[in-house]
Structure 1
Amino acid sequence: MIIVAGATGDLGGRIVRELAGLGAPVAALVRTESSARHLEGMASQVRYADFDDVDSIARALNGVHCVVSALSGLEPVILGAQGRLLDAAVKAGVPRFIPSDYAIDFRQVPQGSNRNLNLRSAFLQRAESSGLRLTSVLNGAFMDMLTGTIPIVQHSIRRVIYWGSADQPMDFTTIADTARFTAHAAMDPDTPRWLRISGARVTVRDIAAATSRVRGRSYGILPVGTLGTLGLTIRLARLFAPGTPDDLYPAWQGMQYLRNLLAGEGLLATPLDNERYPSMTWTSLEAVLRQDTR
């Protein structure tokens, strides 16, 4: 039995569907008060737990072989709820745990340069001492963000804007491919500690060329400043437009992620694990750019 925490979210729901499609016995772990009707037709089971209560979670993990966390949020979620999920897995005797680490290699990201990634680093220290067999899936940035959340493709001027170097490689993988790979990893009894995947390792120049092919019109590149300039912009945005305390992705957070990518911080080490599961196919950059309706 594989159980997915965060199954009501986009990534978690996709992981549940992928596991079910692979024939795995999969349970969705949701809060007692959550609505999980849409999961009942996908998961073998829907189990409820109070995420503020380790004992409640531990009871829900009875008989589970692998916990997959797709929890998403700030400190109360990544360190709080996921921390209690980790403690419950230990208490329930679950042998394997896949934490919610889907990102660039946050271990290489300077402390203070990315709030959300620094939370994963903090959780890593706790997880490493748990005694559980851990497997983290690092997928770079979600490629889907190039169609809006990371708005570097500017269609109005047919340019891809950037700070720093246009030749810096960056790793991108779609949410769907990350979910499919994670499902395979959850079923794999021999996973290493770290798995690294990249649906497309591309530069700003590559993104401009791919957009040109998709749109049938020439797109160029446009430098708009240095990485230092982008860092200053982030500080100003954080000061004057901080967002709400529970806002996971205010504008400045998206800029932090972009700066990490453009600085080469968190670039995945090679060799990648794309070939680990032969049935996997990878969504191309062009396929994602075709979905951009802007």
Structure 2
Amino acid sequence: MKNTIVVAGATGNLGYRICRELIKKEAHVKAIVRRSSDPEKVASLRKMGVEIIEVKLFNKDELTVACKGATGVVSAVTGLRDVIINTQSELLNAAIAAGVPRFMPSDFSSDFTGIPKGENRNFDLRKEFQALLDNSPIQATSIFNGCFADILRYNTPLFDVKTKTVAYYDNKTDWQIDFTTMDDTAAFTAEAILDIITPRFLRIASFRVSPDDLVALSEQYKDKKFELVDRGSMEGFSAYNKIQRLKDPEGEEQLYPKWQQAQYLYSMFLVHHEELDNSRYPDLVWSKVENNI
């Protein structure tokens, strides 16, 4: 008998990949989509073999019907409070009402369990939902994948191809930063949601690189050795981010205002995985850093 997995956020970049990996593993996949979802993305999911469950509203009653018979629910939604707290709470309550045994929240990020409140707005929302999830009767597993590897191509201060610089803080030139590709994250997620016994947290990384490593890689793959740039102390960075947030109240309604982007960079140098769970599913092949810069 096939496992039935419900995926919320299936039309997003990560959600789509999770559906694809589950189909590869011969799971029956049901994607919850709104009526306003991009019809091309919905058609692509359907062509892949995903069952489309169209809902008018993300409320418990509609979602409970969608979750009936499922062996697991994966949330890959993105957004602010209305999504991370409200929508996910409706999905969680529906999964419980439908008798689904396992729930995976949209925690695909750095390990925010070690980040103090106020240092990253988007992580604070996930921690708030985590408290709700941990007080529920369902078995939950969160996957922490560090940063998505594609940010290495975004010209962030960490690895800026335009200025040919690599940033670091608090003398952390050898600080290992966790990166995982979306494809690797999706493949691991598919394995984990089909695994009936998983711990509360799983930590993965396609590769781990330091600012020093990035300088060496720039010389090898970008034809020029990038310059290491000391950006000061973590304490000063934290204070700067808080000031910028106070100056931009409109950013509270935006998913990635500039100060939130800076908070993500701060988080990269604040926490990293002490141990990895990559070997949990030995058939997975992990991407290499040289293919992602």
Q: TM-score, normalised by structure 2?
A: 0.92
* Structure 2 residue ranges without an equivalent (≥5): none
Pairwise CA distance, 1:149: 6.5
Equivalence for 1:77: 83
The answer to whether the 8 Å contact 1:6/1:30 transfers is yes
**What is aligned with 2:274?**
269
Quote how far apart the aligned CAs of 1:123 are: 0.6
* Distance of aligned partners of 1:149 and 1:67 in 2 relative to their CA distance in 1, 3 Å threshold: farther
| Alignment partners' CA distance in 2, 1:91 and 1:38 | 30
Larger mean Cα displacement after TM superposition, 20-29 or 117-126: 20-29
2:286 — aligned with what? Answer: 282
Instruction: Give the deviation of 1:51 after TM superposition.
Output: 4.0
- Tell me what 1:220 maps to: 227
Distance of 1:25 and 1:84 partners within structure 2: 22
Contact 1:51 1:84 in 2 (8 A): no
Q: Is the 8 A contact 1:149 1:254 kept in 2?
A: no
Listed as ranges, the matches of 1:124-273 within 5 Å are 124-148=130-154, 150-164=156-170, 165-263=172-270, 265=271, 267-270=272-275, 272-273=276-277
Is 1:5 aligned with 2:12? no
Deviation at 1:24, TM superposition (A): 1.5
What CA distance in whole angstroms lies between the structure 2 residues aligned with 1:44 and 1:238?
Answer: 41
1:45 pairs with 2:41: no
Tell me if 1:68 matches 2:74.
yes
Residue identity matched to 1:40? R
User: 1:33 Cα deviation (Å)?
Assistant: 3.3
Distance 1:243 1:43 in 2: 41
Q: Deviations over 1:129-171 (max 9, x none)?
A: 1111111111111111121163422334432122222122221
Q: In 2, Cα distance between the equivalents of 1:50 and 1:128?
A: 28
- Counterpart position of 1:23: 26
Residue 273 of structure 2 aligns to which amino acid in structure 1?
L
Secondary structure at 1:81 match in 2: helix
In 1, the alpha carbon distance for the partners of 2:10 and 2:44 equals 10
Aligned length: 286
- Which residue of the partner structure matches residue 91 of structure 1? 97
**Within 2, Cα distance between the matches of 1:258 and 1:130?**
32
Deviates more, 1:181-190 or 1:81-90: 181-190
User: Which 10-residue stretch deviates more, 99-108 or 79-88?
Assistant: 99-108
| RMSD of aligned alpha carbons | 1.7
| Percent identity between the two aligned chains | 39
Instruction: Tell me which amino acid in the other structure corresponds to 2:281.
Output: Y
Shift of residue 241 of structure 1?
Answer: 4.2
Indicate if the aligned counterparts of 2:147 and 2:178 stay in contact, CA closer than 8 A.
yes
Quick one: distance in 1 between partners of 2:46 and 2:154? Answer: 31
- Displacement over 4 Å in runs of 4+: 241-245
Q: CA deviation at 1:229?
A: 3.0
